[in-house]
Structure 1
Amino acid sequence: MKKNIIFVVNPISGDLDKSDLVNAVAEFATTNHFDLEVYETTGKNDIKEIQSLYKQYNPERIIVAGGDGTIKMVAEAMEQHDVIIGILPAGSANGLSVDLNLPPTIEENLKIAFLNHYIEMDMICINGKKSIHLSDIGINADLVKNYEESNLRGFWGYALQAYSTIKDLDEPFIATISANNQEVVHTARIIVIANSQRYGTGVTINPNGVMNDGKFELVILKSLDIFLLGKIITGNMPIDSDDIVIISTDKATIKTDYPVNFQIDGEYCGAQTDLEIHILHKQMKIAIP
């Protein structure tokens, strides 16, 4: 009996041409006797379209070619269904695939996505929106906003925006955080809400993060001078620093003294003063090496 696979591809993610990828997936499916149904995202009604395809084909897995945004969208579409999601990293932000240690080649990733075992991964709910990876309030969200509005992509795009973002810094914000039956107040430059360890650029921000432990971490960076930033970017996250506080919990609220830019998984979500956060334990099944 043939097994159905739905292949969701975001044609524009990461500014990459996907035709070779689509061909490779089709070939792999044929060789391994899968029936493949290809769906290209349009940015309109994708969730409903994917849900109706799921009802029609009842697939064993859904393979996603795109970045964190596309993966998250598919995970939301499949929230009520028991299906394994396989990832072919192909976005501008591939933080989740970096964290899952997915290999660099398409051949290896095809095997994992179609055939390998999986983990049941947590998601985080923030003000009703889902996060699979890393969200933050503060300077990095400024950077995401600036990056979205600029036309230079990739590492140098980020580096340039990082420099200009730090140059034009606002005052730090004051955050009142309730978690684990305690309330604390911190002056902060950025608070990262982390389900995992690394940004898509490979930068480790939450060294103790585990994606299926029923907890998330709030990583509070109180100051952000060039030295600390340099350490974080080069992968020497100084956990024992007075400038960094990490809180591990399954639910929390954050209130800020003025509206602060906020982003979820690399998508700018406006300026916020109140965040309500809780874990969605074992929310999605993801194929892993």
Structure 2
Amino acid sequence: MKKKMVFIMNPISGTASKAAIPDLIEKTLNKDLFDYELRMTQYAGHATVIATEAKDAGADVVVAVGGDGTVNEVARAIVHSQTALGIIPCGSGNGLARHLLLPMSAKKSIQVLNKCEIHDFDYGIINGHPFFCTCGMGFDAFVSQKFAQAGKRGPITYAENILREGLNYQPETYEIEDETGTHRHKAFLISCANASQYGNNAYIAPQASMSDGLMDIIIMEPFDILEAPQISIEMFNKTLDKNSKIKTFHCKELRIHRRSEGLIHYDGDPVMTGADITVTLREQGIKMVINPDADRSERQPNVLQTAAAELFNDLNEMRRVFNRRSHRIQILGKVLQRKLNI
């Protein structure tokens, strides 16, 4: 008996045209295994409505064709059901798809769907909002809002917002309670990660697993301008957890109190919420189609990684020039001191 697959496509997500995708689905999907339907979203939240209808009608797989926002809308509708989530990544960051090592090519993603290997994964909830990749507060929520307000999207826009706003952002003090007790931290950001990255191969939680029953909590302490490039490079090199400014731990439930209401984000979508924040993990709560042929050693550099490396090199050169000049000034000072003593 054929499986039923419903594709839900967001025509405006990401930076590239999706005009060719319907034809790719028709030509690439294995019709001997699947009957399919393609639906287009018409407004924010419409993907959730369509996915709920598909689940209730007994769909075996609902495929989000879009970015992390579309993925979130589809996934939240099918948690704790027998309907699995598939992804054709077409967004700006594609964080969940990249964590799952799905191909960024639409055709190859459809070929993965043909194999239809399904695993159970965890997901999280922050103040009532389900998330499947990451959620958080502080600077990343602030940048998510700026990114959402931007007229254009993509990694360059994201990088521009980070560079423009990062130096002026003021860290907050948070009271954090988990299973071990209550702690206070002054933090640039706090991220709760079910998956490993924000998107664009920027790894906020390099060791995160979606099937270990735990969230990775990342507290990024305040840092200065000279430390920023190193932190950026470590994020792209999957070594951020080794940085002295990063504190990490694991938990199933987290309660956070801050001085006043403010922004949070869930899978990159910003929303205002109160001073009290609760984050919980739901174990094995969603089924997803995975890539059975994924090679975890493969990862391509991207625009942000290259830009961060160039900025780091520029600042290192500035530091070397400054040190050389400081050394020369010290020598001249000693010579002048000797002459004055004479």
TM-score (norm 2): 0.78
Instruction: Name the aligned partner's letter for residue 247 of structure 1.
Output: F
1:146-157 equivalence runs, <5 A:
146-157=146-157
TM-superposed CA distance for 1:232, in Å, is 3.1
2:321 corresponds in structure 1 to none
* 4+ residue runs over 6 A deviation: none
Cα distance in 2 for partners of 1:8, 1:159 equals 29
CA RMSD, 1 decimal:
1.9
Deviations 1:9-58 (A, max 9, x none): 111111432221111112223644421111111225543333223333x2
2:209 corresponds in structure 1 to 210
1:197 corresponds in structure 2 to 196
Residues 50, 240 of structure 1: alpha-carbon distance in 2 compared, 3 angstrom cutoff: closer
| Structure 1: gaps spanning 5 or more residues | none
Residues 101, 227 of structure 1: alpha-carbon distance in 2 compared, 3 angstrom cutoff: farther
TM-superposed CA distance for 1:81, in Å, is 2.1
Percent identical: 24
Match status 1:18 vs 2:25: no
| Other structure's SS at 2:203 match | coil
Deviations 1:107-159 (A, max 9, x none): 32112123231221111111111011111201111111112222242222112
Give the paired residue count.
287
1:54 corresponds in structure 2 to 55
Instruction: Name the aligned partner's letter for residue 228 of structure 2.
Output: L
Asked if the contact 1:209/1:217 (under 8 Å) is kept, the reply is yes
2:263 corresponds in structure 1 to 261
1:37 corresponds in structure 2 to 37
Residues 63, 206 of structure 1: alpha-carbon distance in 2 compared, 3 angstrom cutoff: same
Give the helix-richer structure, 1 or 2. Answer: 2
TM-score (norm 1): 0.92
1:134-145 equivalence runs, <5 A:
134-145=134-145
Deviations 1:181-238 (A, max 9, x none): 3111111110011111112121111122111111001100011333443223223534
Cα distance in 1 for partners of 2:254, 2:191 equals 13
1:238-257 equivalence runs, <5 A:
238-257=240-259
Give the strand-richer structure, 1 or 2. Answer: 1
Asked if the contact 1:79/1:283 (under 8 Å) is kept, the reply is yes
Asked if the contact 2:60/2:82 (under 8 Å) is kept, the reply is no
Question: Which one scores higher on RCO, CA 8 angstroms, separation ≥ 6?
Answer: 1
TM-superposed CA distance for 1:272, in Å, is 4.0
TM-superposed CA distance for 1:271, in Å, is 5.2
Larger C-alpha radius of gyration, 1 or 2? Answer: 2
Bigger CA drift: 182-191 or 8-17? Answer: 8-17
Match status 1:226 vs 2:203: no
